[in-house]
Amino acid sequence: MRVTVIDYKAGNLTSVLKALRHLGAEPEVTDCDLAMVEAAERIVLPGVGHFAATERLDETGLTPAIRAAIARGVPFLGICVGMQWLYAGSSEAPQQPGLGHFPESCTRFIESPEKVPHVGWNSLEVHNGSRLLAGVEPGEYVYFTHSYKGPVTEDTAATTFYIEPFAAAVERGNVMGVQFHPEKSGATGLKILGNFLGVSR
């Protein structure tokens, strides 16, 4: 199975590609090939770092290409900042719009004695009906590293609590996102990536 992995020069792709290959997928990477996105069977957008780096998706024309692929029903998975990009934007870079598939915006954790960024393992509270998180039991742990987070809404597929509740995963139709890093989350993360590979159009 071919998976198109988007490289906007701010994500650590190595572990994502390794995990996808482990699951039997054939990942192909592009940072600007619009034809590759147009022909994609599945799209994964890994991301780390600052939300402003997603500007490259606009500059290369990948944003409208991804939007068109989503409209055709191509399954899409955003990871970490890749999930945050699915929202209207983020207070981390107010001048840089996101894809806007989800109308809300991402915000920084509120002031607290707890450390920010949130780094380490935390458990998931999975909402019923998620295809991405099928078979994930309540309380299973995944690995996070982030300072900004999405709000809990009707599109939230799983929540986690750190300082405050936030969206650990979102899902609407063929568009999915996870705030955590499934490629660094052991057997649970591989299960989630495997679920994404099995999602039918």
Report the catalytic residues. 80, 181, 183
For residue 126, give the 3-state DSSP assignment.
strand
* Whole-angstrom Cα Rg for the chain: 15
φ and ψ at residue 6, rounded to 5 degrees: -90, 125
Distance CA 43, CA 5 (A): 6
Instruction: Report the candidate in 43, 103, 28 with the shortest Cα–Cα distance to residue 77.
Output: 43
Per DSSP (E only), the strands in the chain are 2-6, 26-30, 43-47, 76-80, 87-90, 102-108, 118-123, 125-126, 141-146, 148-149, 156-162, 164-172, 175-178
For residue 107, give the 3-state DSSP assignment.
strand
